[in-house]
Amino acid sequence: MLFQIKSYLKFLWESKNEHGVHSPFVFSLLTKCFYDKKPKPEYSILKNYQKSLLHNKNFIEVTDFGVGSKVFKSNRRQISKIASTAGISTKRAELLFRVTNYFQPKNILEIGTSLGLGTSALALGNKDSFLLSLDGCQNTLSVAENLFNEQFPDFNFEFLNLEFGEFLKDSATICDWNLIYFDGNHSKKATIAYFDLLLPTITNDAVWIFDDIHWSIEMEEAWEIIKNHPKVTVTIDTFQWGFVFFRYEQEKEHFVIRA
């Protein structure tokens, strides 16, 4: 906890808003997407999805393949508690929706479905996209899949119960992933491994989002490695998320942004 407090204070000291940004690409992203305050009809759909989970008092057995939970001491967990403590916040879900809606990715890959709160934001951002979401825990994945079948029956989505590395080694390059949301194994080794395995899929317009980049010293080290990779041109650190772009025409720049 002390580590994260120090990291957040450093973030606040270094961060800027759109007035400190001179890149036209990043300025447009901030003003038209990150800081867009206009109400969206999709927000109520996201809240309804979240409410259905918060009202679910059933217990499931959760399988953790990553570094585990900082909140739960047992693998037997109540769905409503997972949604309220480990799920994406309403503010973050709305931002994830806006980002997906802004870039309109054709193919979306999510690494770490959990209960599908982030997944619903990705799906609503571009209803014409193909969305593939992976999770190693069959029980949480089943909750998300059942809700999606109920609430988004016409969307083009697929859920796969696989260990992330296993899928990426065999099938990472089945298509060009226009947007990838990394929200699974929060370890340095796994994060860099997934990054390397997915590099062959990048295009000029690819958007990668890494969750919890300041979750631990290891994750901060992974973020530094990603930022300095020669194929990465632009990164945006919003504290919880790290945005990565591979735009060939851009000069290499790193931004720390309050979002």
Spatial distance between the Cα atoms of 212 and 60, rounded to a whole number of angstroms? 24
pLDDT of residue 2: 83
Spatial distance between the Cα atoms of 238 and 13, rounded to a whole number of angstroms? 13
pLDDT of residue 67: 54
Each residue's pLDDT, cut to its tens digit, for the chain (259 residues) gives: 788 889 989 999 999 888 889 899 999 999 999 999 999 999 999 999 999 999 999 999 998 765 545 555 578 999 999 999 888 999 999 999 999 999 999 999 999 999 999 999 999 999 999 999 999 999 999 999 999 999 999 999 999 999 898 899 888 889 999 999 999 888 999 999 999 999 999 999 999 999 999 999 999 999 999 999 999 999 999 999 999 999 999 999 999 999 8
Give the pairing of strands 207-211 and 179-182: parallel
Spatial distance between the Cα atoms of 232 and 246, rounded to a whole number of angstroms? 5
pLDDT of residue 145: 96
Among the listed residues 132, 73, 110, the one whose alpha carbon sits nearest the alpha carbon of residue 209: 110
Spatial distance between the Cα atoms of 201 and 195, rounded to a whole number of angstroms? 10
Cβ neighbourhood burial of 166 (10 Å; 0-12, 13-18, 19+): exposed
pLDDT of residue 64: 76
pLDDT of residue 186: 87
pLDDT of residue 173: 86
Task: Compute the Cα dihedral for 164, 169, 174, 177 and give only its sign.
Answer: positive
pLDDT of residue 70: 53
pLDDT of residue 258: 93
Among the listed residues 15, 6, 5, the one whose alpha carbon sits nearest the alpha carbon of residue 257: 15
